[in-house]
Structure 1
Amino acid sequence: MQNGDRTLNDHRARALQRFPRHERRGEARLPAVLATLAAILLYLALPGQLLVVPRYVLPALEVLLLIPLIAVNPRRMTRQNRLSRTLSLTLVGLIGVSNLAALGLLVDAMVTERADDGGSLLLAALQVWATGIIVFGLAYWELDRGGPVVRTQVDRSELPLADFRFSQDENHDAVEEVADGASRSCDWVPTLMDYLYVSVTNSTAFSPTDTMPLSTRAKALMAVESIAALITSLLVIAHAVGVLD
C-alpha cells in the first residue's frame, strides 16, 4: 500500500510540474464567445414561424449580456463577481429558453402541418438540435464545480461539489501515461470542450456515456436535453423527410 501511495505521489509531482492547473491563468475566453455567437447566429437563421419575438430582439439582448462578460475577462477567465456570474447564467438561460421555445413551435408546425416546405423544416430542426448541443454544453460548463473561474482559481479542496464525474476523475490508478493526466495526479479540471463533448454524446445517445451526472440539477438538465434531442430527431426530422418524399 505504501509503495502504491509513493508511486501515486511520484506521478502527481511529475505531472504537476508539467501541468499546473492552467498555470492559474484561467480558461481561455474565446471558445465560449465563439460557442455563444454560433448559438445566436443559428437562432437568427431560423424561419420566422419559429420566433416568439421579432428576430433581432433576443440576439441583441444576448450580445448585450455577452459584452460585459468579455470586458471582465477579455482573454483568460480569472475574475468573477456576483454580477458577472448572474449575467453569464442569464445569458445561457436566455439562449436555452429561446431554443426550447423554437422547438415547441417547430413541433406545433409539424403537428398542424403549417410548414410549407419540408426542406425548410428539416433545416430548422438541425439548427435547433445544434443550438441545443451548444447551450447545454455551456450550461454544464457554467454550473459544474462552481463554473469556469472557480475551477481554475480555487484550490481543489475548496471546490464546490462536482455536478459531473469525468473519466479523468477516476484514472489515478491506471497505467502511468493515463494516470499522469488524471485529476488527482495533475490537478486536471474540465474545460468547455469537455462539456460540449458531454452535450454531444447526450444528445445523440439520449443518455450519459463516459461522463456521469452526479447532482440533481445535472441529471435534470441532461434529461431535458435528451428529451429535446429525441423529439427533434425522431419526430421533427422524420416528418420533414416524409414531406420531402
Structure 2
Amino acid sequence: MSEGTGDAESRLARIERLLESGEREVAPAWRRATRGEPRWAVTAVIVVAVVLQWMLPHRLAFHPYWALPALELVLLAGLIAANPRRVEPRTRWLRWWGLALTGVISLANGWSAVRLVAGLVNGTEATEAGPLLLTGGGIWLTNVIVFALWYWEWDRGGPMARVRGQSQYADFLFVQMQSPETAPPDWEPAFLDYLYLSFTNSTAFSPTDVMPLSRWAKMLMMLQSSVSLVTVVLVVARAVNILK
C-alpha cells in the first residue's frame, strides 16, 4: 500500500514539474498575440502636438498656418472613429491612415524647425530671449512626440502587427524584455514606453536604457539626436547672446 502511494506521489510530483516547466516556456506577451493597447495615450499626445504647432509664430508655420494642424485633427478623428478604445487591426487602411497622420505632423514640425534654424543662422530670427526659448521648446517637444510616433509605428511592424504577434524580432530592446522578472507576465511596450524612449534620446543625445537593435532604429535615433542637438544648441546660444 505504501509503495503504491509512493509511486502515485512520485508520478504526481513529476507531472507538477512538467507543468511548471511548461508554464516557464510560455512566450512573453510582447512575442504573442494580445489585445490592442488603449488609444487614449497616443490620442492625448497627438492633441498636444497639434496645440503646440498651433501656438507657434505664424512666420514659422507652413501656410496657411491652420492647414496642417486641421488636417492632423481630421486624420486623428478618423482613427478614433475606427478604433475608439483600442488600437486594433480591424482594417488594412488604418495602418496607412496612422502613418499619414505621423507624416503630416512630421512635415509641419520639420518645416517650422528648418525655418527657425535658418532664421537663427541668418540672424533674422528672435530679438527677445523669452519668446525664442518658448518657440524652440515647443518645436523640440513636438520633435520628441514625432519620433515617439515613428518608433511606435515601426517597431516590429507597428502596433497592429504587434497585436497579432507577427514579428518575433524586436527593433528596440526594453529592460523588461531582458529581465522578465521585473515586469508583470502580460507586459509589452505601449506608446508611453516609446514616448519615454524618444524623450531620453532627445535629452541624452544617445540611447539610455532602451537599445536599438535594427539598422533603421539606429539610424532614426541618430537622426533624432542630431536634430535635437542642433535645435538646442542654436536656440540656447542665440538666447544667451540676446541676454548679453
Asked if the contact 1:27–1:149 (Cα under 8 Å) also holds between the matched residues in 2, the reply is no
Q: Choose which of 157, 163, 167 in structure 1 pairs with 2:175.
A: 167
Conservation of the 8 A alpha-carbon contact between 2:56 and 2:138: yes
Residue pair 1:21, 1:187 contacting (<8 A) in 2 also: no
Tell me the secondary structure at the aligned position of residue 76 of structure 1.
coil
- TM-score, normalised to structure 2's length? 0.83
Q: Report the counterpart of residue 143 of structure 1 in structure 2.
A: 154
Answering whether residue 104 of structure 2 is matched by residue 105 of structure 1, we say no
- 22-31 or 197-206, larger mean C-alpha shift: 22-31
Number of positions where the alignment pairs a residue of Structure 1 with one of Structure 2: 227
Q: Could you tell me which residue of structure 1 aligns to residue 143 of structure 2?
A: 132
1:85-105: CA deviation from partner (whole Å, max 9, x where unpaired): 111011111111221221111
**Aligned counterparts, 1:211-226, within 5 A:** 211-226=210-225
CA distance in 1, matches of 2:30, 2:119: 52
The two structures have a TM-score, normalised by structure 1, of 0.83
Compute the RMSD of aligned alpha carbons.
2.7
Whose radius of gyration is greater, 1 or 2? 2
Aligned twin of 2:76: 66
Cα deviation for residue 107 of structure 1 reads 1.0
Bigger mean CA offset, 228-237 vs 37-46: 228-237
The aligned runs of 1:181-196 (5 Å cut-off) are: 181=183, 186=185, 188-196=187-195
* Alignment gaps of 5+ in structure 2: 1-17
CA 1:67/1:164 → structure 2, altered by over 3 Å: closer, same or farther?
A: same
Counterpart of 2:199 in structure 1 is 200
Alpha-carbon separation, structure 2, partners of 1:236 and 1:98: 19
Match of 2:6 in 1: none
* Displacement after TM superposition at 1:188 (Å): 3.0
**Pick from 14, 34, 47: which aligns with 2:44?**
34
Distance 1:237 1:105 in 2: 16
Instruction: Give, as a single letter, the amino acid of the residue that structure 2 aligns with 1:44.
Output: W
Cα-to-partner distance string for 1:50-107 (whole Å, 9 max, x where unaligned): 1121211000111111111111110112234321111101111111122122111111
Q: Which whole-Å CA distance do the structure 2 matches of 1:228 and 1:7 have between them?
A: 49
Counterpart CA distance in 2 for 1:170 and 1:132 is 28
What letter corresponds to residue 203 of structure 1 in structure 2?
Answer: S
User: Do the aligned residues in 2 keep the contact of 1:72 with 1:79 (CA within 8 Å)?
Assistant: no
Residue 47 (structure 1) aligned with residue 47 (structure 2): no
The share of aligned pairs that are identical, in percent, is 43
Counterparts in 2 of 1:54 and 1:244: CA distance versus 1, 3 Å: farther
Q: How far 1:23 moved relative to its partner?
A: 9.7
Is 2:93 the partner of 1:83? yes
Counterpart residue type for residue 92 of structure 2: R
Match of 2:133 in 1: 122
Change (3 A) 1:68 1:243: same
In the alignment, structure 1 segments of 5+ residues that lack a partner are none
**More moved, 118-127 vs 31-40:** 118-127
**215-224 or 39-48: bigger deviation:** 215-224
User: In 1, are the aligned partners of 2:157 and 2:167 still within 8 Å (CA)?
Assistant: yes
Distance in 1 (CA, whole Å) between partners of 2:31 and 2:60 is 43
Q: Are the equivalent residues in 1 in contact too, given 2:31–2:168 (CA < 8 A)?
A: no
